[in-house]
């Protein structure tokens, strides 16, 4: 066995973005700089990695355009790294817009045998005060620290669990936050200070994670696409026509971002029931930024109650995976 290595996978995003001038913080083009070039902006990166670093460019995309082929390639690269005895941990550079969804996907499908750390940036690599190099250094520090297995997100000096992290601001540097519970650790001057005990060794997941058995993960990679699932919002003046149109177009599942305790406008409720009667999966969560719905407002479907514990963007990914498993059975 060779010296333990760190694998860094690049997918693009703002951290690899390029603008016309150093003062330009918006209007840049994401995913222009290679992951190898990102490493060159951190002079002591190999020292922080505590060993050799291996890079692989998975994609160069703006994460708002993340799609299944990129996810599938990323999953395969992660699986290969996890199976390699010489790999100590994996770091992934990613855009912020869909980072929480990718983190949840990896958390749902990959075994928690080694650290997998995603990082990002809110300013392009060409910015006068780019945040990407520090975030990358911190991510490598977390990955190499001999710390905890599972999927983590590192940004702004904070370490977040995949099940909790969300993007909460469109441009500030502290855009990633765990609304319920706060960060799991802090990165301070090249050292990791964990704020929660290492029990269990990977972030606890809602029971929905069990909807994708480990034996099914490789089977899902053979799919050309995941089942079609959409999010609809319930609110004042909500109408049935949007739900009916989605069902007519062939949607397989709908996640409802409900008001308050995952409640749904009466004008939409009947349409959701019609959709359920036609075999469309319906799960409900809340559009509230903080707090979790309690089961009394969610009806009798246990899966629906479980998924309400996730933000709707992650519940949508969880439903796609659960539907895919059902279709493969």
| Active site members | 14
Give the whole-angstrom CA distance, residue 107 versus residue 45: 26
Closest CA to 230 of 212, 210, 250: 250
Contact (CB, 8 A) for 68 and 135:
no
Closest CA to 154 of 105, 92, 87, 200: 92
Contact (CB, 8 A) for 323 and 229:
yes
Give the whole-angstrom CA distance, residue 189 versus residue 180: 26
Give the whole-angstrom CA distance, residue 1 versus residue 90: 18
Angle between the N-to-C axes of helices 312-328 and 99-109, in degrees from 0 to 180, rounded to the nearest 10: 40
Give the whole-angstrom CA distance, residue 92 versus residue 72: 14
Give Cβ neighbours of residue 269 (< 8 Å, ≥ 6 apart).
none
Q: Is the dihedral of CA 142, 143, 148, 154 positive or negative?
A: positive
Q: Record the tokens describing residue 50, joined without a space.
A: 């505590």
Q: Which residue has the tokens 């053979």?
A: 222
């Amino acid at each position: 066995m060779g010296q333990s290595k760190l694998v860094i996978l690049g997918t693009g995003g703002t951290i690899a973005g390029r603008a016309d001038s150093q003062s330009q913080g918006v209007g840049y083009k994401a995913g222009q700089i290679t992951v190898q070039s990102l490493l060159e902006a951190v002079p002591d990166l190999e020292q922080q990695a505590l060993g050799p670093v291996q890079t692989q460019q998975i994609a160069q995309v703006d994460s708002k355009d993340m799609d299944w082929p990129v996810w599938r390639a990323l999953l395969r690269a992660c699986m290969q790294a996890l199976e390699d005895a010489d790999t100590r941990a994996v770091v992934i550079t990613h855009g912020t817009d869909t980072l929480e969804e990718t983190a949840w996907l990896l958390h749902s499908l990959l075994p928690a045998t080694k650290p997998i750390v995603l990082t990002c940036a809110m300013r392009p690599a060409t910015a006068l005060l780019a945040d990407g190099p520090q975030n990358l250094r911190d991510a490598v520090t977390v990955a190499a620290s001999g710390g905890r297995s599972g999927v983590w997100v590192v940004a702004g000096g904070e370490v977040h669990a995949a099940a909790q992290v969300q993007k909460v601001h469109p441009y500030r540097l502290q855009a990633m936050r765990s609304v319920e519970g706060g960060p799991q650790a802090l990165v301070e001057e090249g050292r990791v200070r964990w704020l929660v005990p290492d029990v269990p060794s990977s972030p606890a997941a809602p029971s929905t994670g069990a909807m994708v058995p480990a034996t099914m993960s490789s089977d899902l990679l053979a799919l050309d696409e995941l089942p079609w699932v959409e999010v609809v919002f319930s609110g004042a003046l909500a109408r049935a026509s949007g739900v009916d149109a989605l069902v007519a177009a062939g949607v397989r599942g709908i996640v409802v971002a409900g008001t308050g305790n995952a409640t749904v406008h009466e004008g939409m409720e009947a349409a959701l029931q019609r959709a359920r009667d036609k075999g469309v999966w319906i799960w409900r969560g809340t559009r509230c930024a903080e707090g979790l719905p309690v089961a009394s407002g969610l009806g009798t479907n246990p899966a629906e109650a479980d998924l309400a514990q996730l933000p709707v963007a992650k519940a949508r990914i969880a439903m796609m995976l659960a539907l895919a498993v059902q279709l493969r059975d």
